Amino acid sequence: MLGHGLIRRREILRMGLAAAVVSRTRVVAGREVPIVNALDHLLLGVADLDDGMSWIEQRTGIRPAVGGSHPGRGTRNALLSLGAKQYLEIIAPDLAQPGVSEDLELGKLSEPRLINWAAATTDVEALAARAKAAGTTFFGPRDGSRATPNGGLLKWRTLGLTAYLSAGPINPIPFFIQWAAGSQHPSSTAPSGCTLESFGISHPTPAAVAAAFRPFDLDAEITESKEVALLAGIRTPKGVIQLT
């Protein structure tokens, strides 16, 4: 168990980062998009989905709804709406899938952590061309889908960028997602009552993260820190909470 001093130090760090991120997010020359606006969804990694859902419910007062499994990827999720076109995805290992090992990186998390984020796009092919022109290593666009609990099918396309600035499972560089026509955005069906107020990044080399964002018109002033972290301020029925 963590000592009280370490817990207190971590909470102070989170609060300090929240203040820095909120004050520094900006639009440059009316063109670049603040990452809090570009965000489609946050990924909160957990070792066990049921435990992760309870952890979020305790903090927000709202219980996420089970989304479904990602066939072939070894994961399953639960969702919580963060307002229009934004949501929180709690993602965990799905040991019921054939070949999934308990050693999956998510299974090693000792506590829930924000591990990545998705940026919304309406033209994933154009972003791929932009990544190629910038010399950015990427994979995709590739198709994805999962069945919903009500028997529907969500479909999307994603573009992934090489995770060369990550630390363990925490990757500050987003992947891009374009939802298929006819697919209902998960924020409209997930339990509501929470909204995203702030989103930012801390990293040992903030200039490198900013440079990775630049070809995609994503704007953020990243705070410098010893650890890689994603930080989100979420307004809930219990007040504003910080996730990291």
Residues 160-198: tens digit of each pLDDT: 999 899 999 999 999 999 999 989 999 999 999 999 999
* E strand segments, the chain: 33-34, 39-45, 65-70, 75-81, 87-93, 113-120, 138-147, 153-161, 175-179, 195-203, 218-219, 223-224, 229-236, 239-243
Average pLDDT in the 20-35 region? 49
Instruction: Give the residue among 56, 54, 65 at the shortest CA–CA distance from 232.
Output: 56
* Pairwise CA distance, residues 239 & 14, whole Å: 16
Q: H helices of 61-204, where? A: 124-133
> Which neighbouring-strand residues pair with 239?
236
Query: How confident is the model at residue 4, as a pLDDT?
Result: 32
Contact 194, 235 (CB under 8 A): yes
> At residue 208, what is the residue type?
A
Contact 75, 91 (CB under 8 A): yes
Q: Which residue has the higher pLDDT, 147 or 30?
A: 147
pLDDT at 28 over 90: no
Q: Which residue has the higher pLDDT, 240 or 220?
A: 240
Query: How confident is the model at residue 43, as a pLDDT?
Result: 98
Domain boundaries, the chain: 4-121+163-243
Residues 110-151: tens digit of each pLDDT: 999 999 999 999 999 999 999 999 999 999 999 998 888 888
* Pairwise CA distance, residues 153 & 133, whole Å: 34
CB burial of residue 46 (10 Å; 0-12, 13-18, 19+): buried
Cis peptide, bond prior to residue 186, ω within 30 of zero: no
Residues 54-113: tens digit of each pLDDT: 999 999 999 999 998 887 788 999 999 999 899 999 999 998 888 776 656 888 899 999
**CA dihedral angle for residue 214, residue 163, residue 35, residue 142, rounded to 10 degrees:** 100
Q: Using the 8-state DSSP alphabet, how is residue 165 labeled?
A: T
